[in-house]
């Protein structure tokens, strides 16, 4: 009997011959779209032993419990990433709370993006870790998929809205004045609604027979609608913005308009930050969606190590985004400087107040001691003037000569 390969539930399973009456089924690569041992197919933690009788065609199988190392591995991989994401985006929330000057129309888009990235570190990653400990029901793996789709689509469209606003401000400045805070908030609401629709749609066909076909269509639509079309516009917008700024920096206008030159440098730096955000997001999430598409169409390639790598890489953008626009965008960086300066002034003012309070307490102590001494001297002088003094506890009377 020779070794052969059979497909069970669209998962390649290696079957090898053991002895004369035993077969053993073992899958070393079965993973779901998140790279985790799939709860509904055989994984490397499952071994199905089939006792096959030569004279009897009946076979029995037994499924041991899932391996308990998945939760520990997920915790070791993603805990520090989740903490870093929460801290980095928490800084953005603090800046918006402490610095009212940051509450502009364009910065509200960055605030909403920070909410999206913060949710990855505070909700999506902890949910994924807890699920890997096999505490939650197996059916909730659809929730993991939906949450990641929601936040990935939301992040891409936030970057698209940021690019569109900067494009209007740079290339079409007159039209940019029409963009109000109310219009920006409506756009952000639309971003979250569209992202929710993308995330909820796969839950509709999760238990149907054609779920795999619809999953393939959904992943392909995500690649086109979330990456291909938006990035075509963003590529055009970034090229147009850099060309516009380059035209403004003509040698004849450099010395005549120093304030304009300073603004051009600031705009160039801001556009570079947004372009870097878009590139990093595409590098982190686009390969993940491509891998999901390859998995759903059953392309026979070894994707386990690649999936494991991009499970970590996809979260990098949620940590890098707040660092980019807080440390490289001028208004955020000045807000950080002002906050640190205010903290420094507060600490110096506090130390000054403490020193003043100590001085006051010392002065009051000295004054009280001085008043006590003066009162005792006055009492002694009054007793002398009255002719009555005390020596050794016995009163002594003096008389004038």
How far is it, in rounded angstroms, from Cα 264 to Cα 384?
A: 89
Residue 16's pLDDT is what? 38
Residue predicted with more confidence, 304 or 256: 304
Q: Is the dihedral of CA 365, 366, 369, 374 positive or negative?
A: negative
Instruction: Look up residue 241 and give its two tokens.
Output: 């913005």
Across the strands, what pairs with 4?
A: 15
**Percent of the chain at pLDDT exceeding 90:** 29
- Over 80: is that where the pLDDT of 260 sits? no
pLDDT of residue 73: 85
What is residue 202's predicted lDDT score, i.e. its pLDDT?
Answer: 84
197-231 pLDDT, tens digit each: 999 998 887 777 777 888 889 999 999 999 999 99
CA dist., res. 244 & res. 208, Å (int): 52
Tokens linked to 184: 């920006």
Cα 67 to Cα 49: distance, rounded to the nearest angstrom? 17
Write down the pLDDT at residue 4.
45
Long-range contacts of 201-207 (CB under 8 A, 24+ apart): 202/142, 202/145, 202/146, 202/149, 203/142, 203/146, 206/142
Residues 77-95 have pLDDT tens digits of 899 999 999 999 999 999 9
Q: What is the C-alpha separation between 315 and 181, in angstroms, rounded?
A: 30
Q: Which of 62-71, 224-233, 239-248, 262-271 has the lowest mean pLDDT?
A: 62-71
Question: Across the chain, what does the average pLDDT equal?
Answer: 75
Residue with tokens 């591995």: 73
């Amino acid at each position: 009997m020779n070794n052969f390969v059979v497909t069970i539930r669209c998962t390649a399973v290696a079957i090898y011959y053991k002895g004369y009456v035993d077969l053993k089924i073992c899958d070393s690569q079965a993973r779901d779209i998140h790279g985790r041992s799939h709860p509904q197919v055989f994984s490397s933690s499952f071994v199905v032993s089939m006792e096959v009788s030569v004279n009897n065609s009946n076979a029995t199988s037994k499924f041991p419990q899932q391996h308990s190392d998945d939760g520990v591995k997920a915790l070791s991989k993603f805990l520090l990433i989740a903490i870093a994401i929460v801290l980095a985006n928490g800084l953005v929330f603090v800046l918006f709370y402490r610095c009212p000057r940051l509450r502009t129309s364009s910065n509200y888009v960055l605030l909403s993006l920070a909410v999206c990235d913060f949710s990855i570190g505070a909700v999506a990653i902890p949910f994924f870790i807890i699920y890997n400990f096999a505490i939650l029901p197996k059916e909730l793996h659809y929730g993991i998929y939906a949450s990641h789709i929601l936040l990935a689509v939301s992040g891409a469209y936030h970057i698209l809205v940021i690019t569109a606003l900067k494009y209007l401000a740079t290339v079409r400045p007159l039209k940019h004045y029409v963009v109000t805070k109310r219009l920006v908030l409506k756009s952000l609401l639309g971003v979250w609604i569209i992202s929710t629709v993308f995330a909820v749609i796969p839950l509709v066909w999760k238990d149907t027979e054609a779920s795999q076909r619809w999953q393939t269509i959904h992943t392909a639509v995500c690649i086109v609608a979330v990456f291909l079309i938006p990035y075509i516009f963003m590529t055009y917008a970034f090229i147009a913005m850099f060309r516009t700024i380059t035209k403004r920096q003509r040698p004849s206008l450099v010395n005549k308009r120093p304030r304009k030159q300073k603004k051009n440098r600031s705009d160039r730096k801001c556009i570079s930050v947004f372009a870097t955000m878009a590139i990093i997001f595409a590098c982190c999430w686009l390969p993940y969606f491509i891998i999901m598409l390859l998995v759903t169409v059953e392309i026979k390639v070894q994707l386990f190590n690649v999936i494991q790598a991009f499970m970590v890489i996809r979260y990098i953008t949620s940590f890098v985004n707040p660092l980019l626009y807080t440390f490289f965008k001028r208004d955020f960086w000045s807000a950080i400087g002002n906050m640190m300066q205010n903290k420094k002034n507060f600490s110096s003012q506090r130390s000054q107040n403490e020193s003043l309070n100590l001085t006051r307490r010392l002065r009051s102590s000295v004054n009280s001691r001085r008043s006590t001494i003066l009162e005792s001297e006055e009492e002694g002088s009054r007793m002398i003037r009255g002719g009555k003094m005390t020596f050794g506890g016995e009163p002594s009377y003096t008389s004038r000569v």
